[in-house]
Chain A
Amino acid sequence: MAEDPKRALAPDSPEEMSRRQFFVKVGVGSAAVAALGTAGFAYQYLSPNVLYEPSPIVDAGKPDRYAPDSVTMDPQTAIYVVRTGEGFFALSAICTHLGCLTAYKPDLGIIACPCHGSKFNKDGVKIEGPAPRPLPWLRMWLSDDGNLMVDRSNAIAIKQLVRV
């Protein structure tokens, strides 16, 4: 089929597309689809599906380990187990500002962050410093064999004491 070579480049009417325009559109379209697919693939590849991190659930031992009216920190798991007159609760030891490990100061009765000077009381409520939120209360319960268990991944909105 002998065709006018100019026809391939110039469309007859505005709605019509030349062969070259068509192939450019197909090419750019496929490249865009491939780029989107690659972005999705890269995102999935870079997100680990299994984390070999310590379990968020911590066995804090028997309740009688903790003296009445005490704040006990475990630096390995970054939690405080607080025992009040009425019961127990668990507090995250990770500062809500930028994630540093806080420390309990028994002589002052407060929790202080060494990085940027945030201070909290024993309930986790901020006293001063840049921390935007109080230290979260973590879900705590008694296991079947009577151990205090803490779920570090589960902050509780309503403050509840575990009574033993």
Chain B
Amino acid sequence: MAGMDGVEIHGVHEGMLIDQFAIALSTRERTSTEEILRGRLRFATEIVKEIKKKVGKDFPVGLRFSIKSYIRDWNQGGLPDEEFKEKGRDTEEGLEAAKILEEAGYDALDADAGSFEACIGPSHLFIKSMALSSLSRKTKESGEDSCNRFG
């Protein structure tokens, strides 16, 4: 693409549009079997399949990805150090989603956590440095490439 080495899809990330399809809170499906999770991730998986079909499987396609949403409720966030019931995507589902996304063809997950819903994201500086590194590490240990922008 105009000399670009690859593309990154934004994303199953921060509760933005593609993530709204993926998170149970913002869909009609409130349960979470693997089949339903695959259905919620279909927008994201169809995109990578379409790109690879048009461009070839060797063209790198990454995905901006939130492992965990930190959503306490609509427009209310939880913080990494406090106890709250996660209403968005929790870590366990995030790691399961990571495998489905890799299987669909994504070459890398550019991982962080948070959402607009929760007012937590890469731009919110009140979170301590490297607060999300353990999540990023978990994603990497589950076999995905990931990076952490909180360095």
A and B co-occur in one complex: no
